Amino acid sequence: MKIQKIDHLGIAVSSIDSGKKFWQDIMGLELEGTETVEEQKVTTAFMPVGESEVELLESTSPDGPIAKYIEKRGAGLQHVAFRVENIDEALAELKEKGVQLIDQTARKGAGGARIAFLHPKATGGILVELCERTN
Ligand code: ZN
Protein backbone atom coordinates (compact mmCIF):
# COMPACT_ATOMS: atom_id res chain seq x y z
CA MET A 1 0.00 0.00 0.00
CA LYS A 2 1.15 3.51 -0.71
CA ILE A 3 0.31 6.12 1.93
CA GLN A 4 0.47 9.55 0.32
CA LYS A 5 -0.02 11.86 3.29
CA ILE A 6 -1.94 12.53 6.45
CA ASP A 7 -5.28 13.49 4.94
CA HIS A 8 -6.92 14.83 8.06
CA LEU A 9 -7.20 14.68 11.84
CA GLY A 10 -10.70 13.78 13.02
CA ILE A 11 -11.62 15.71 16.17
CA ALA A 12 -14.80 14.93 18.11
CA VAL A 13 -16.53 18.10 19.32
CA SER A 14 -19.73 18.61 21.29
CA SER A 15 -20.70 21.14 18.61
CA ILE A 16 -19.01 22.55 15.53
CA ASP A 17 -19.72 26.03 16.88
CA SER A 18 -17.75 25.34 20.03
CA GLY A 19 -14.94 23.71 18.02
CA LYS A 20 -14.79 26.75 15.74
CA LYS A 21 -14.17 29.02 18.73
CA PHE A 22 -10.74 27.46 19.15
CA TRP A 23 -9.75 26.25 15.68
CA GLN A 24 -11.08 29.25 13.74
CA ASP A 25 -11.15 32.21 16.12
CA ILE A 26 -7.95 31.43 18.01
CA MET A 27 -5.87 29.23 15.70
CA GLY A 28 -6.95 31.09 12.57
CA LEU A 29 -7.98 28.12 10.41
CA GLU A 30 -10.60 28.73 7.76
CA LEU A 31 -13.77 26.72 7.68
CA GLU A 32 -14.12 25.33 4.16
CA GLY A 33 -17.60 23.96 4.61
CA THR A 34 -19.75 21.52 6.53
CA GLU A 35 -21.37 18.30 5.41
CA THR A 36 -23.71 15.84 7.11
CA VAL A 37 -23.10 12.14 6.50
CA GLU A 38 -26.46 10.62 7.49
CA GLU A 39 -25.28 7.00 7.63
CA GLN A 40 -22.68 8.00 10.21
CA LYS A 41 -24.99 10.38 12.11
CA VAL A 42 -22.31 13.04 11.93
CA THR A 43 -21.82 16.56 10.66
CA THR A 44 -18.26 17.32 9.60
CA ALA A 45 -16.52 20.66 9.19
CA PHE A 46 -13.30 20.75 7.19
CA MET A 47 -10.55 23.25 7.93
CA PRO A 48 -7.51 23.04 5.65
CA VAL A 49 -4.02 23.11 7.19
CA GLY A 50 -1.42 23.08 4.43
CA GLU A 51 -1.76 19.75 2.60
CA SER A 52 -3.94 18.28 5.34
CA GLU A 53 -7.11 19.23 7.17
CA VAL A 54 -8.67 19.36 10.58
CA GLU A 55 -12.05 17.62 10.50
CA LEU A 56 -14.43 18.57 13.30
CA LEU A 57 -17.03 15.89 13.99
CA GLU A 58 -20.37 16.67 15.62
CA SER A 59 -22.94 13.97 16.26
CA THR A 60 -26.39 14.51 14.75
CA SER A 61 -27.95 12.06 17.20
CA PRO A 62 -27.35 10.92 20.81
CA ASP A 63 -26.84 7.33 19.57
CA GLY A 64 -24.34 8.21 16.84
CA PRO A 65 -20.74 6.93 17.00
CA ILE A 66 -19.33 10.39 17.80
CA ALA A 67 -21.83 10.96 20.63
CA LYS A 68 -20.89 7.55 22.06
CA TYR A 69 -17.21 8.33 21.70
CA ILE A 70 -17.56 11.63 23.60
CA GLU A 71 -19.65 9.93 26.28
CA LYS A 72 -16.94 7.33 26.82
CA ARG A 73 -13.73 9.25 26.30
CA GLY A 74 -14.60 12.92 26.11
CA ALA A 75 -14.16 15.31 23.22
CA GLY A 76 -10.81 15.37 21.44
CA LEU A 77 -8.73 13.64 18.80
CA GLN A 78 -10.85 10.75 17.53
CA HIS A 79 -9.05 9.43 14.47
CA VAL A 80 -6.12 9.99 12.12
CA ALA A 81 -6.79 9.62 8.39
CA PHE A 82 -4.15 8.59 5.88
CA ARG A 83 -4.62 9.16 2.16
CA VAL A 84 -3.96 6.07 0.05
CA GLU A 85 -3.79 5.77 -3.69
CA ASN A 86 -6.10 2.76 -3.89
CA ILE A 87 -8.24 1.87 -0.88
CA ASP A 88 -9.42 -1.48 -2.27
CA GLU A 89 -5.84 -2.64 -2.69
CA ALA A 90 -4.91 -1.29 0.74
CA LEU A 91 -7.77 -3.18 2.42
CA ALA A 92 -6.91 -6.39 0.56
CA GLU A 93 -3.31 -6.06 1.71
CA LEU A 94 -4.32 -5.44 5.35
CA LYS A 95 -6.65 -8.47 5.30
CA GLU A 96 -3.85 -10.58 3.91
CA LYS A 97 -1.68 -9.42 6.80
CA GLY A 98 -4.41 -10.37 9.28
CA VAL A 99 -5.14 -6.81 10.44
CA GLN A 100 -8.44 -6.35 12.26
CA LEU A 101 -10.67 -3.96 10.31
CA ILE A 102 -13.85 -2.12 11.30
CA ASP A 103 -14.84 -1.74 7.64
CA GLN A 104 -14.24 -4.76 5.45
CA THR A 105 -14.93 -2.68 2.36
CA ALA A 106 -14.68 1.03 1.60
CA ARG A 107 -17.70 3.21 2.27
CA LYS A 108 -18.69 6.77 1.47
CA GLY A 109 -17.19 9.52 3.61
CA ALA A 110 -17.51 13.30 3.58
CA GLY A 111 -16.33 15.19 0.52
CA GLY A 112 -16.91 12.25 -1.83
CA ALA A 113 -14.04 10.28 -0.32
CA ARG A 114 -13.99 6.50 -0.02
CA ILE A 115 -13.02 5.57 3.53
CA ALA A 116 -12.47 2.59 5.83
CA PHE A 117 -11.47 2.32 9.49
CA LEU A 118 -8.90 -0.03 11.03
CA HIS A 119 -9.63 -1.37 14.49
CA PRO A 120 -7.68 0.42 17.26
CA LYS A 121 -6.74 -3.01 18.66
CA ALA A 122 -4.68 -3.56 15.52
CA THR A 123 -2.95 -0.17 15.51
CA GLY A 124 -1.72 0.31 19.06
CA GLY A 125 -4.79 2.16 20.23
CA ILE A 126 -5.34 4.70 17.45
CA LEU A 127 -8.46 4.75 15.30
CA VAL A 128 -6.93 4.87 11.83
CA GLU A 129 -8.92 5.83 8.74
CA LEU A 130 -7.81 5.14 5.21
CA CYS A 131 -9.13 7.56 2.67
CA GLU A 132 -9.06 7.64 -1.13
CA ARG A 133 -10.00 10.76 -3.03
CA THR A 134 -10.30 11.19 -6.74
CA ASN A 135 -10.17 14.99 -6.64
ZN1 ZN B 1 -12.17 11.21 8.94
Distance 9 CA to ligand 1 centre (A): 7
Q: Say if CB 113 and CB 55 are below 8 A apart.
A: no
Ligand 1 midpoint to CA 8 (Å): 6
Which tens digit of pLDDT belongs to each residue from 20-50?
999 999 999 999 999 999 888 999 999 999 9
- The reported pTM is 0.93
pLDDT of residue 135 exceeding 70: no
Q: How confident is the model at residue 17 (pLDDT cuts 50, 70, 90)?
A: very high
Q: Which structural domains are found in the chain, ordered by start?
A: 3-132 (3.10.180.10)
Between the CA of 97 and the centroid of ligand 1 the distance, in Å, is 23
Per-residue pLDDT tens for 73-128?
999 999 999 999 999 999 999 999 999 999 999 999 888 899 999 999 999 999 99
pLDDT at 111: 84
CA of 124 to the centre of ligand 1 (A): 18
Calculate how far, in angstroms, residue 78's C-alpha sits from the geometric centre of ligand 1: 9
Query: Cα(66) to centroid of ligand 1, in Å?
Result: 11
- Rounded distance, CA 95 to CA 52, Å? 27
Distance 48 CA to ligand 1 centre (A): 13
| Contacts with 21 (C-beta within 8 Å, 6 or more apart), sequence order | none
Query: 45-83: per-residue pLDDT in tens?
Result: 999 999 999 999 999 999 999 999 999 999 999 999 999
Using CB atoms within 10 Å of the CB of residue 26, give its burial: 0 to 12 exposed, 13 to 18 middle, 19+ buried.
exposed
